[in-house]
Amino acid sequence: MMKIICTTVDHLPAKLADGERAFTLFKSARREGVGTIAKSWRGSLKRKGFAPSPQAWDFVQFCLSVCAADLACLRGSSADGWTRTIELTVGLHEPLRWVPWKQHAEDMLKVLTGDYWTLHFIEGGAPPPDGRLAAVDRDCVSLLSGGLDSLIGGIDLVEQGRRPMFVSQLAHEDSQRQRGYAAMLGGGATHQQWSHGISFSGAREPSTRGRSLAFYGFAVLAASRVAASPVQIFVPENGFICINPPLVPGRVASLSTRTTHPLFIGMLQELLSGLGIPVQLELPYKFKTKGQMLTECLNQDLLRAWASDSTSCGRFRTYNRVHCGRCVPCMIRKSAFRAWGPAADSTKYVHPSLSGSDKASGPDDPMAAALAVLSVQAHGLDRFLGATLAFATPAERQSYRAVLARGIAELDALLRADGLL
């Protein structure tokens, strides 16, 4: 059992339980072994005019606490080298509101990270910042990562006459790109770039399956400045990655993230609604492949100008901010560009072709993709998918099945073009 407590400095216990690690919210405790989350951020939000509801603010504190636990608990020290058992105590401003949602939140985190969570909600969160609340001239929120899907999502919203407030999770290699896209789409003035700001001594867990929760916390915080009710929060992700089916049996763990999985998004929406937070999570591309997103984007000229500039690579940092060309996200990117038009992709790749690409780091993704395509051809899509779509209603199951079939077909075309099949 890995024990974590996240609270404000004033509520930090004088003595921690055996084996327990602690983090303080928004201010350093200046105590050896105690980490810090988002130092000075609350004051910054107040100065910028943020005044979220207690419910929304506690959701932000919950998300940041989960991220801290996710980073501090090493998978390698668990019994199977992956699945952790985490006991997380979260200081909230209104903890009693969360008590009826304890089991639901634990189940939701298990879906997201694959771990077993026990949650405790206690007095000890910071009160919400009380800035001079002023609604912004925006009518929705859209996540903007610097990736291709979020770029298309932003373009489509603007072309539909919407005025999105863009929210980004700061990533060193993408921060400038995020600002550029927001400005290009007319949302530069209200664009929010935030970081979880988690610091602590010792080793960090690299899989970060829970990191995405901070992104949703930031989106809910941004939505507190939008006058609409409920506020739509757009999560632009193609359907193939939303479902993220294991390409080969046993290919799970960090290779099958559930950040935008419809099951997780549904559970997150239920929690937000139950807490009284008036937002509506939207997955506008859950039934489209990345290739379809490119082909059907509502401003093709703008997309052609910027598509190759966007990032997709799962190992972008490993290769000094150059796309590797052979990880699963890179292969899906390449196959999408091929479906859009082979001449459209001017992205620089370490491995322009999958044929003969060096398996220098990480798993052999091209081999996994090839095995998936061959498995579908030999045994059919339904056997390949197994219980992957068991979460979906019968009405939606066929639509998810269709997008996965098209996604496999796009990968097939890439693998054949590169001579792997």
pLDDT, position 254: 42
pLDDT, position 314: 81
Contact (CB, 8 A) for 368 and 251: yes
DSSP per residue over 341-374, as a string?
Answer: -GGG----BSSSSSTT----SS--HHHHHHHHHH
Sign of dihedral through CA atoms 297, 239, 394, 277?
negative
Q: How far apart are CA 9 and CA 398, in angstroms?
A: 51
The pTM for the full model equals: 0.96
According to DSSP, the residues that pair with 85 across neighbouring strands are 116
pLDDT, position 320: 81
User: What spatial distance separates the first Cα and last Cα of the chain, rounded to whole Å?
Assistant: 46
Structure tokens at 251: 């290919």
What residue ranges of the chain are covered by domains with CATH 3.40.50.620?
140-282
Q: In degrees rounded to 5, what are phi and psi of residue 110?
A: -65, -40
pLDDT, position 253: 41
Parallel/antiparallel/unpaired status of strands 140-143 and 231-234: parallel
- The CA distances from residue 332 to 238, 376, 406, 414, in Å, are 10, 17, 12, 9
Average pLDDT for consecutive 10-residue bins of the chain (421 residues)? Answer: 97 92 97 96 96 98 98 94 96 98 98 96 97 90 96 98 96 86 96 96 90 96 95 98 85 65 98 98 98 98 95 83 92 96 88 80 81 96 94 95 97 95 91
- The CA distances from residue 182 to 158, 171, 185, 283, 316, in Å, are 11, 15, 5, 20, 21
CATH code given to domain 140-282: 3.40.50.620
